[in-house]
Amino acid sequence: MAKAVHSMIRVLDEARSLAFYERAFGLTVDTRLDFETFTLVYLRNPEADFELELTVNKGRTEPYDLGDGYGHLAVVVDDLEGEHARLTEAGLGPRKLVSFAPDGGEPIARFFFVADPDGYQIEVLQKAGRFR
């Protein structure tokens, strides 16, 4: 059976992205691989083995066009309201809290979104049900 190990995104400014992901989600550098034209930076935290791979293409000066195919990354937290308040206080601009209840039924998820410095969307979900 396959096991998901990482997701890769391209970032313009390594330091800015590292600061965001550490401040927002406690992700720190596990491995940094430097090559002639690009650098790969693997971020993780003690909560999971899954990593976020940042690809930094050297010499790039223009922001990436995220296009209309990218959706979002998702993380789960124990205290959704507390994390929303913490990210707000940190000046990271999380969007509003949402209770998702399709067709007016029971809520199946509670979440908010926050964007990283390159515009990638991250969904922050309350740990519950299928989101564990």
- Residue 85: DSSP 8-state: H
Closest CA to 115 of 17, 3, 4: 17
Locate 18 and state its tokens.
């590292």
Helix (H) / strand (E) element for 77: namely: strand 73-77
- C-alpha pair distances (Å), 128 with each of 46, 80, 124: 19, 11, 12
Q: Assess whether 123 carries a catalytic annotation.
A: yes
- C-alpha pair distances (Å), 132 with each of 3, 44, 74, 95: 16, 17, 11, 22
Catalytic residue among 36, 47, 51, 123: 123
- Please tell me the distance from the alpha carbon of residue 106 to that of residue 40, in angstroms, as a whole number: 42
User: Which residues are identified as catalytic?
Assistant: 123
